[in-house]
Structure 1
């Protein structure tokens, strides 16, 4: 039997190097469970128990954009096996104290689920309508009102995010070749929020505790807000920097309570401060990545904090075993 280690469940090797380096620096053994069709992982023997260790699920809502269309279903199968085997899974199936009862992966791949939970918890969220299929979009837009943005329910990477200021413009988009078909068939129409200043804030949490906040400059007009180098969009990439002093903001404790109530242990939460004084939370990233510029200037490191957190779990879950 292999010695206990941290297993990271994912589908995108391009996002792993900064995390792998952090685990190596902290002396925490890390092994990949790469859930792609070409992966050597291959599958699971349902009659065999999971190897000893701590499992960290960081499946991405945008997996299908990298050709890994079934990665979400593969992850659900692995998580069911791990749960049946009593394995400790971070960002996996909900525990008994979960307010939603939803596996974290269902929150990652559904902005509808995120929106409803945030709203129920008392957070200000953008007015949103979910539309099934393509045919009903023009009528739904006219009921919704201008201006608005569209986005995919199963999103990430700014998928399907566009601003529309006229119904004719939207009609042409829906009927034209540039229309982006959502992988789950659900398009969201959402109110267009005007920021008080051209930035959004992304608060990072590890082990359910605040790490740092990132100020993401959106003055270039990009909707692609993934902080990883691998996500960079030429010509319109936003700028990332540490948002100083945010640790004392009341939102921090509210986000920590929300994450704890829903079994989310590692995440980035995004919100915007609007021109009319609102603080609108609109996204939860449970496979959060970290920006190298922020990491270079922050007194604490997101990846190192993850390695420390999961390394601590590994020791507590397998006390007396040399990991």
Structure 2
């Protein structure tokens, strides 16, 4: 029997999709790829395979989930299975360097970034960047992990040489131009089937951990995904009548890289220039924002996956 197979490593991030699959009475099977075995001489089961492996898996003690998933995806692709977000999507998910190079190839601007391996090299990279304010972040991250804003080289040196330095899991730190937005928010653009679904305005006034998943409200003290704020504006707000011209470039970028489901985060500077800085192929959605707007991405995703069933 043909099924929807969901490849993942975090039950909390898949429960909403499971609920929608149940609601539509669709046959599915969850493949948790933290650990396992794979007989490469075997043949995959019938159906469609949707990859939801996250770059932040190591923060849940699932250090080798992406590597194992890469093996599983290679096996599926060898057998010409229908894979949503295959190995190319996974490579983008676990490397911002890969993301930026692919975005630039598609004509999409990204913040000026220098790759650094080694503590001394991080400091040298910041000096080379020659910006009064800059950000450090992990190449392989998620949930805003490792993102730090600095306004001086001296502050960076204290952080790098101090006890709070956050070592990236792959050893690569990115030193990046700080884009100062005229208002404290970024825009996250959601795509399903490679097509634009909606955009979410995300309040960044409480920090850089911008994971929209409902589970983040439990796991991360500063992840702004709580219930709708009593303040005038919610942390996450789906925008109406929003489709800037660069959406076409985003869709072309996804098509060129064989990515079907993604969230692309972008920030606009004071001159109105937009910079994409993160491609999340394990994209999540905020239920409060969706309830207010009446748009439900996991439902649309479940419907999309169902089109590949026999």
TM-score, structure 2 normalization:
0.93
Mapped to 1, the partners of 2:17 and 2:208 lie a distance apart of 25
Are the equivalent residues in 2 in contact too, given 1:216–1:225 (CA < 8 A)?
A: yes
Establish whether residue 289 from structure 1 lines up as the match of residue 284 from structure 2. Answer: yes
Q: Mind listing any 5+ residue stretches in structure 1 that lack a counterpart?
A: 94-102, 319-323
Establish whether residue 175 from structure 1 lines up as the match of residue 161 from structure 2. Answer: yes
Partner of 2:261: 266
How far is 1:134 from its partner? Answer: 2.2
- The partner residue of 1:126 within 102, 106, 111 is 111
- The partner residue of 1:227 within 212, 237, 242 is 212
How far is 1:236 from its partner? Answer: 6.1
Mapped to 1, the partners of 2:162 and 2:53 lie a distance apart of 31
Mapped to 2, the partners of 1:26 and 1:237 lie a distance apart of 30
Are the equivalent residues in 2 in contact too, given 1:50–1:85 (CA < 8 A)?
A: yes
- The partner residue of 1:34 within 28, 32, 44 is 32
Partner of 2:83: 89
TM-score, structure 1 normalization:
0.89
Partner of 1:242: 238
- The partner residue of 1:62 within 56, 60, 66 is 56
Aligned-residue Cα RMSD (Å) equals 1.3
Establish whether residue 153 from structure 1 lines up as the match of residue 139 from structure 2. Answer: yes
How far is 1:209 from its partner? Answer: 1.0
- CA deviation profile, 1:178-237 (whole Å, cap 9, x unmatched): 0000011000000111112211111111001111111101122x1001101112233562
Q: Mind listing any 5+ residue stretches in structure 2 that lack a counterpart?
A: 226-234
Cα distance 1:236–1:230, how it changes in 2: closer, same or farther (>3 A)? closer
Cα distance 1:150–1:235, how it changes in 2: closer, same or farther (>3 A)? closer
Are the equivalent residues in 2 in contact too, given 1:91–1:266 (CA < 8 A)?
A: yes
Partner of 1:312: 307
Cα distance 1:209–1:235, how it changes in 2: closer, same or farther (>3 A)? closer
Question: Helix, strand or coil for the counterpart of 2:125?
Answer: helix
Question: Helix, strand or coil for the counterpart of 2:115?
Answer: strand
Matched length: 298
